Amino acid sequence: MAPDNYASDIADLRRRFDALAEHWGREQKAAELTQLEQASAQPDFWNDQQAAQETMARVSVVKGDIAAYDAVASGLADLETAAELFADDETDADMAAEIAAGLQSVTGQLGELEVASWFTGEFDSGDAIVTITPGQGGLEAQDWTEMLFRMYLKYAESKGWKVDVNDAVPGEAIGLDRATFTVHGHNAMGMLSSEQGTHRLVRISPTDVKKRRQTTFAGVTVMPVVPEDVDVQLDPADLRIDVYRSSGPGGQSVNTTDSAVRITHEPTGIVVTCQNEKSQHKNKDAALSILRARLYEVEKAKRDAELAELRGPKGDITWGSQIRNYVLYPYQMVKDLRSEIETGNVDAVLNGDIDDFVIGYHHWKSAQS
């Protein structure tokens, strides 16, 4: 790389970093960390174990954010100093290699920091509840639901996130009739909000003896896990709780006890099921967590228009409503219709390699605001 390119690339990194620093708020992060550490030093801090654990988890996140910011600031300053020295001796091959390596490192670190800086919503940094349901396409749509379910599980694994499968109901012949799972990880809600909407699949039908091309749809809903300290009106008298024998999709162990739980919130008609835990108590707790998230959305919609921030645009799970196309035949391509990010490596995408689409969406969304 020529010296002028070094200078140009470093100047571009500086512009991006300065723009980030204007709204990222390192001083606010440091102040929050001080408050959290002061709270954790109180004698009665561990009296409430759950609150204490949540506070310590937040301490870890804020410390990580500050460390990431400082690493970029330090790396960029080192790059600028090295570039000045290199300008005095452009034949120094070792210095050129050091700058090239530094550019690659700082570019990656800054990119990750920019992604994290987007998630400033109330629940963006927290966990997410994802539900996938079949749309138009009959049995094929149920198969597509299971394909998306596996894709997201693999994506979560690649991010180091923990997943609790709350409900995975087998379809009539193939696939899943629905799937609900909770993703635990830093910025899981913010990242996965990109997946909210209708996903369209085009392929040769595996169930059609004539091997005709089939178009099918599945809908993805992403909701935040609402913390316990957020007030959600949930009157036990409004709940109808049914217990039934659970079932699991092929390949999973099937629970043989009556541990599955269905909770109906009678005032709103919202129904939540959870059956993947062997413990009825755990299934009930998970179902209540999902119900709290859904009721929070309902209340949020009544107060203001911020529901769109949590659930995104709504529509039928059918033609013309899709956010992303997955084409397996007559050619291979996955394309997001919002960011226009696309790839021909369909197999990699279906195996969980969707970071380009997730980050591309947030770049697109940021540009719209």
**Over the stretch 137-154, which tens digit does the pLDDT of each residue have?**
888 999 999 999 999 999
What are the phi and psi torsion angles at 42 (to 5°)? -70, 145
- Contacts (Cβ under 8 Å, ≥6 apart) of 274: 166, 167, 180, 260, 261, 283, 284, 286, 287, 290
CA angle 124, 223, 30 (to 5 degrees): 15
Which residues, in sequence order, are CB contacts of 67 under 8 Å at separation 6+? none
What is the CATH classification number for the domain harbouring 78? 1.20.58.410
Describe the strand order of the beta sheet including 162-170 as a list of residue ranges: 162-170, 176-184, 128-134, 213-224, 197-204, 322-327, 333-336, 342-343
Give the percent of the chain with pLDDT over 70: 89
Residues 188 and 325 in one domain: yes
pLDDT at 254 over 90: no
For residue 176, the cross-strand partners are 170
Q: Band of the pLDDT at 249, cuts 50, 70, 90?
A: very low
Domain boundary among 118, 141, 171: 118
Query: What is the domain extent for residue 14?
Result: 3-118
Q: Are residue 239 and residue 340 in the same domain, yes or no?
A: yes
Residues 110 and 130 in one domain: no
DSSP state of 200: E
Residue 309 in this model has a pLDDT that exceeds 60: no
Domain count, the chain: 2
97 lies in the same domain as 152: no
Same domain, 24 and 155: no
Q: What is the pLDDT of residue 121?
A: 83
Dump pLDDT digits (tens) for 7-43.
Answer: 899 999 999 999 889 888 889 899 999 999 999 999 9
Please report the pLDDT score of residue 234 as a whole number.
Answer: 86
The one-letter amino acid code at 53 reads Q
Reported residue count of the chain is 369
**pLDDT the model gives residue 296:** 85
Asked whether 359 and 118 are in contact (CB, 8 A), the reply is: no
Q: Which residues pair with 262 in a beta bridge?
A: 242, 273
The DSSP symbol for 112 reads H
Strands 176-184 and 162-170: antiparallel
Q: Are 301 and 166 part of one and the same domain?
A: yes
| Same domain for 96 and 240 | no
| CATH number of the domain residue 345 falls in | 3.30.70.1660
Beta bridge partners of 325: 200, 335
What are the tens digits of pLDDT across the range 219-236?
A: 999 999 987 767 788 899
Name which residue leads in pLDDT, 300 or 121. 121
Distance CA 90, CA 3 (A): 7
Do 60 and 168 share a structural domain? no
| Residues 128 and 225 sit within 8 Å (Cβ to Cβ) | yes
Q: Look at residues 73, 96, 118 and tell me which one is the last residue of a structural domain.
A: 118
CB contact at 8 A, 295 and 270: yes
Predicted pLDDT of residue 311: 52
pLDDT tens digits, 50-91: 889 889 988 998 999 899 999 999 999 999 998 888 876 666
Instruction: Give residue-wise pLDDT tens across range 190-229.
Output: 999 999 999 999 999 888 878 889 999 999 999 999 877 6
Q: Which two tokens stand for residue 103?
A: 């550019």
Q: Which range is most confident: 107-111, 175-179, 241-245?
A: 175-179
Same domain, 210 and 343: yes
Residue after which a domain boundary falls, among 118, 143, 169: 118
Asked whether 242 and 259 are in contact (CB, 8 A), the reply is: no
Is the predicted pLDDT of residue 186 greater than 90, yes or no?
Answer: no
pTM across the whole model: 0.77
Check whether residue 157 and residue 219 sit in a common domain.
yes
- Are 89 and 150 part of one and the same domain? no
Q: Do residues 314 and 340 share a domain? A: yes
